[in-house]
Structure 1
Amino acid sequence: MAINNTVLNEGIMQIPSWWRCPAGHEKLREKAHAIGKNELLPRASISDKEGRYPRESLKAIAEAGFGAVTISVEDGGLGAGLTGFAVLAESFAQYCASSTMCWVMHTAAVQTLYSAGSNEQRQRYIPGVLKGEIGALAFSEPATGSHFWNVVSSAPRRGNGYLLNAEKSFVTSAGEADWYIVCTNYPDSIESDKLMFLIVDKNQDGVEYFPFSAMGLRGNASGPMKFKDVLVPIYNRLGSEGGMNFFNDNVIDPLFLLGTSACWIGIAQGALNAAIDSARKKVHQDTGQSVAGYQVIRHELAKAQILIDSARNMLYRTAEGMDQCIENGQTLSTCLYPLWELKTHAADIVIQVTNQALQVSGGRGYLTGQVEKYLRDGRAGALMGPTNEILREWIGRTLIEVPWFE
């Protein structure tokens, strides 16, 4: 008698694909997971142990066509929108958080150059990006901590350019990126907002970077940088002499919050996947039962997955809303409130889920290895500016209808 294959699978619930991926992005997600398994994961532990920048992984991402995912197809990009960006970031982070964070910050830098820059600047930098060159954002300063939108440095005019002196505290891809968008002030601006963006190339005189050693995300080179008497030519100024807070609110913050939130969600899913795999394979010889055979373990797995999916659904609903805003000609600053909630929730649940993954994995999870790495990597989320405490304050102020930013 022939065995019907459907009978073998009878009783096994299949998770609908739309629950894990927005409609129309399934092939993008599939390709991202293939890159994650084949390119990112094999190098992830080495990058972590040695604090090595994941250049090979980032090159593989660019070669797959993901060097400029949010840029229009007409200008050489992928044109995947912010939903595609979120799908890719969440998928990549399940395999290597350091590579993902570098790529997220690179994407934010590329989109800032594209949005605030001139056609000449686009033509000068975007072709290199498509070939694997890396862009970065140099914003946060020691004097203002995690309030990265506030800077005290300045760059007055000097001849046909600007004399930049700035200390930056956390620059993802510090010393590794090919170019940086440096946030500073133009002291003589006629704008009430003196914020100015300058493009600084890696090998310019006066550019210094310093080693990075942290608990997690050890491969992303998020070290301090100094720009000492760096002469930046006027053709490397993005936009105007001041008034650049508009791009903070409508490009940098939205992409940063969306991309990093996707990263925390991906880390949580990666940790849980590792714990599930371990629980299914580990068999106790005295009982003959796998770890996954215990009800209490299955309940912990279920609770963790529900948390992840709650954050994932916030992620994709927010990303789709952002794409809709762009399509309707609205600014992305109208999406900041859901982005605050998303980042806060994603950075909270990754802590809880990675702890659950460690607990389910038992003593083996406590050893240096995959689950332990996810736990260390994910812990950065709540600390990364705007910190979760700041975001909860902004959310609370919005709820009582008082100005959120003072």
Structure 2
Amino acid sequence: MAVDKAIDDSLLMKIPAWWNCLPGFEQMHAEAKLIGEQVLRPNADISDREGVYPRVSLQAIADAGFGAVTVPEEYGGLGAGCSGFAVLAETFAQYCGSTTMVWVMHTAAVQTLFMAGSHEQRLRFIPKVVRGAVGGLAFSEPATGSHFWNVVSKAPRSGEGYMLNADKSFVTSAGEADWYIVETNSPESAKADKLMFLIVEKGQDGVEAFPFDALGLRGNNSGPMKFKDVFVPASNRLGEEGGAGYWNDIVIDPFFLLGSSACWIGIAQGAISAAVEQAKRKVHADTGKSVAGYQVIRHEMAKAQILVDSARSMLYRVADKLDQAALKGETLDSCLYPLWELKTHAADIVIDVTNKALQISGGRGYLRGNVERFMRDGRAGAIMGPTNEVLREWIGRTLIGVPWLE
């Protein structure tokens, strides 16, 4: 049988550009793809195989102007809003999941600092972020697991600041970030909500990070950290004593849910794209046909791509609504319900799509490489808090008209 024949380009269906990128963000998308191809992809295997923190890739992202993508231009940021954040995260993830999740958490931390912080704090931290400094979030604790909005640690007043003692689990960029926003409790707060944010800087006494060795996302150093008798000056308190749950609802949750969803969608796209290219190249000597020449394979490709595009469409719509809410002066917690649906769908489809990508790739897909790395990286989404089970419960409770959080 003859090898697959060349096809006249004039007969090819063209996928509309707007289907893969939000209109108005084409240049940003192109720049992100270039960084992905030149820097993220070549370093992704090293980060995964050796558990190396992707410092080189993160610096390349910062050098391109994406270190403070959502911060207004007057503070040195890009002012690209949630839409720019979503486009970049989804694009970066097609090349390296570890780098993308670090950058997503970093962006959430930077936006929280900008929103909750003082003018002095913005001027002290954001210029360094623009040059490549990395921020992190130290929220979840072993005692409460993925319920990161509930913590048991405390930081009582001590002189002109606070004495922080906290055990944290799954801190992205643990031991690598230049500063962390640590969620803890203020025992002296008069507020019903005792949650408080403290900025702890790298190199402070009493801060210890532990190794991270996981199935996937092996380069993002999401290990546990201990903060033992760490003195935090009052100048590094973010916002007020207590009441930080407000910032969880209007900044942390929206940015984390949006950015992580974009990451899972990008990983799914990266996996199916790799599988398609491999199927086009691999030719069976006995039939003379490429793997992509079999109808059953093409149908699996189509089913996978439809899942990715359904999630990407949700991502774009939610990102746009978040930006519209911000322009109207509304808080972003008004979009939490669609964000729950988005994250649940994105974390579900990445498992399905990476499984399909591996099946399409056959034995080669089971070997160490892009497809199996994407499969391992994407599996983190459904168990990353709020887990998909928690989110489905919140969605279900909302549908029957009862309070979503007890």
Q: What is residue 263 of structure 1 aligned with on the other side?
A: 263
Matches within 5 A, 1:71-86: 71-86=71-86
Q: What is residue 96 of structure 2 aligned with on the other side?
A: 96
Q: Provide the rounded CA distance (Å) in 1 between the counterparts of 2:179 and 2:10.
A: 55
Q: What is residue 43 of structure 1 aligned with on the other side?
A: 43
Deviation at 1:251, TM superposition (A): 0.3
Q: Provide the rounded CA distance (Å) in 2 between the counterparts of 1:369 and 1:128.
A: 35
Q: Provide the rounded CA distance (Å) in 2 between the counterparts of 1:239 and 1:352.
A: 41
SS in 1 for 2:380: coil
**1:198-255: CA deviation from partner (whole Å, max 9, x where unpaired):** 0000100000000000000000000000000000000000010001111000000000
Letter in 1 for 2:271: A
Q: What is residue 333 of structure 2 aligned with on the other side?
A: 333
TM-score when scaled to structure 2?
0.98
Deviation at 1:264, TM superposition (A): 0.1
Q: How many equivalent pairs are there?
A: 400
Q: What is residue 3 of structure 1 aligned with on the other side?
A: none
Q: Provide the rounded CA distance (Å) in 2 between the counterparts of 1:273 and 1:403.
A: 41
SS in 2 for 1:338: helix
Q: Provide the rounded CA distance (Å) in 1 between the counterparts of 2:112 and 2:330.
A: 17
SS in 2 for 1:173: coil
Deviation at 1:9, TM superposition (A): 1.8
Deviation at 1:8, TM superposition (A): 3.5
SS in 1 for 2:157: coil
SS in 2 for 1:224: strand
Deviation at 1:182, TM superposition (A): 0.2
Q: What is residue 56 of structure 1 aligned with on the other side?
A: 56
SS in 2 for 1:166: strand
Q: Provide the rounded CA distance (Å) in 1 between the counterparts of 2:359 and 2:347.
A: 19
Matches within 5 A, 1:194-209: 194-209=194-209
Matches within 5 A, 1:290-369: 290-369=290-369
**1:363-403: CA deviation from partner (whole Å, max 9, x where unpaired):** 01011111000000000000000000000000000000000
SS in 1 for 2:165: strand
Letter in 1 for 2:128: G
Q: Provide the rounded CA distance (Å) in 2 between the counterparts of 1:134 and 1:20.
A: 29
Deviation at 1:75, TM superposition (A): 1.1
SS in 2 for 1:193: coil
Q: What is residue 115 of structure 1 aligned with on the other side?
A: 115
Letter in 2 for 1:19: W
Q: Provide the rounded CA distance (Å) in 1 between the counterparts of 2:261 and 2:210.
A: 27
**1:350-375: CA deviation from partner (whole Å, max 9, x where unpaired):** 00000000000000101111100000
Q: What is residue 105 of structure 1 aligned with on the other side?
A: 105
The RMSD of aligned alpha carbons is 0.7
Q: Provide the rounded CA distance (Å) in 2 between the counterparts of 1:143 and 1:8.
A: 62
Q: What is residue 372 of structure 1 aligned with on the other side?
A: 372
Q: Provide the rounded CA distance (Å) in 1 between the counterparts of 2:296 and 2:368.
A: 25
Deviation at 1:94, TM superposition (A): 0.1
Deviation at 1:22, TM superposition (A): 1.0
Stretches (4+) displaced over 4 A: none
Matches within 5 A, 1:114-193: 114-193=114-193
SS in 2 for 1:382: helix
Letter in 1 for 2:51: G
**1:64-104: CA deviation from partner (whole Å, max 9, x where unpaired):** 00000000011110000100000000000000000000000
Q: Provide the rounded CA distance (Å) in 2 between the counterparts of 1:309 and 1:19.
A: 8
SS in 1 for 2:381: coil
Q: What is residue 234 of structure 1 aligned with on the other side?
A: 234
Q: Provide the rounded CA distance (Å) in 2 between the counterparts of 1:387 and 1:190.
A: 32
SS in 2 for 1:208: strand
Q: What is residue 247 of structure 1 aligned with on the other side?
A: 247
Deviation at 1:261, TM superposition (A): 0.2
Q: Provide the rounded CA distance (Å) in 2 between the counterparts of 1:9 and 1:234.
A: 64
Q: Provide the rounded CA distance (Å) in 2 between the counterparts of 1:11 and 1:107.
A: 43
Q: Provide the rounded CA distance (Å) in 2 between the counterparts of 1:239 and 1:366.
A: 49
**1:280-315: CA deviation from partner (whole Å, max 9, x where unpaired):** 000000000000000000000000000000000000
SS in 2 for 1:184: strand
SS in 2 for 1:300: helix
**1:110-149: CA deviation from partner (whole Å, max 9, x where unpaired):** 0000000000000100010011000000000000000011
Matches within 5 A, 1:216-227: 216-227=216-227
Deviation at 1:10, TM superposition (A): 2.1
Q: What is residue 3 of structure 2 aligned with on the other side?
A: none
**1:9-33: CA deviation from partner (whole Å, max 9, x where unpaired):** 2220000001111110111101000
The percent of aligned pairs where both chains have the same amino acid is 71
Letter in 2 for 1:235: S
Q: Provide the rounded CA distance (Å) in 2 between the counterparts of 1:125 and 1:349.
A: 37
Structure 2, unpaired ranges of 5+: 1-6
